[in-house]
Amino acid sequence: MLTLSKLHSESVAYYESTVDETRGVEAYYSEDGRQPARAWVVSVVPEAEPLLERTYGVKNGQAVEGKDVTRWFYHAQAPSGVTLGRAPGDRGVPGYDMTLCTPKSVSVLWGLSDDERVRTAVDAAHEKTVATALRYLELHAGCIRVVLIRPIRSG
């Protein structure tokens, strides 16, 4: 199941308030609230992924430190220091919160099974589902907005 919602400056403050105060916003974005956030670097053209990783300063699947997550949210700045456009203002949208969740029945199957093969199969299916969902979103929902400003000529 995919849940998607806009982030606002208030959203980031909410996420920060839901995690252990000593952990910061990055804990919210981990599976159990104890693991660091991880970066997903994907591209329609697989050959471009190393360039994106160098540009952003993170590798696909790499843990991202809390200070880097905060800079991304508040200042539109990648861990590499590259500015990714204009930082969102009070009413801006710094990003989107995308949460992929396994259906409860699958979680119950994994949790109640004593057979390691079942758990391994469920884990593999989940990983493949997440990868497929990310690829779909990349192809059909990944976009940037480009604004061209042209001078107005009078007379």
What pLDDT is stored for residue 115 in this prediction? 95
pLDDT digits (tens, 9 = 90+) for 12-47: 566 555 544 445 555 555 555 555 556 666 666 677
Segment 104-108 shows an average pLDDT of: 92
Q: What is the pTM of this model?
A: 0.57
Higher-confidence residue of 28 and 117: namely 117
pLDDT at residue number 106:
92
Q: What is the pLDDT of residue 118?
A: 95
What does pLDDT average to over the chain? 74
DSSP-assigned letter for residue 141: T
**How much is the pLDDT for 40?**
64
Which sign does the torsion angle of CA 106, 107, 113, 119 carry? positive
Residue 133, exposed/middle/buried by CB under 10 A (0-12, 13-18, 19+)?
A: middle
Whole-number pLDDT of residue 16? 55
CB 24 within 8 A of CB 70: yes
**CA 73 to CA 94: how far, in whole Å?**
6
